[in-house]
Amino acid sequence: MNYIAVVHKDTGYGISFPEVGGCTAVCDTLDGVLAEAEEALALYMETLSDLGKPFPEPQGFEFALKNTTKQGLVTTAVIPVVENDKTVQINITIPERHLQRIDVAAKKRKLSRSAFMTETALEAIKK
């Protein structure tokens, strides 16, 4: 997923994401602000994820330019959001009868036990 960043220059460089209200970064150099933007966007998205909120849909360059002030505009950049999808093994203890029910439900949905439990847990978190 990519978001459009808009860079402005005043005394330093500022960067914002019109599609992601409230996510900004500042730095003395253009290269620095682009690096800061990646970190700011990643932290913003991590916070949304922790709160169970969806990521804003990317809208593209036209939306970004239409929804930003032109004064001091330097450039735009495409900043990717990289989600951490590292898989980790866990050990849980549940009654065998529950495990059997989970396995039946997962099979009906053509999911592995792990995928079913992950999806079900994430749905519960969103509620």
Q: How far apart are CA 6 and CA 18, in angstroms?
A: 8
Nearest to 103 by CA among 89, 88, 124, 117: 117
Question: Residues 38, 59: contact at Cβ < 8 Å?
Answer: no
Q: How far apart are CA 40 and CA 15, in angstroms?
A: 10
Question: Residues 72, 7: contact at Cβ < 8 Å?
Answer: no
For the chain of 127 residues, list the mean pLDDT of each consecutive stretch of 10.
87 89 90 88 85 85 82 79 72 95 93 89 78
Q: Is 24 helix (H, G, I), strand (E, B) or coil?
A: strand
Q: What is the pLDDT of residue 127?
A: 63
Structure tokens at 109: 């949905």
Q: What is the pLDDT of residue 45?
A: 86
Q: State the sign of the Cα–Cα–Cα–Cα dihedral 86, 87, 93, 99.
A: positive
Q: What is the pLDDT of residue 96?
A: 95
| Backbone φ, ψ for residue 14 (5° rounding) | -125, 145
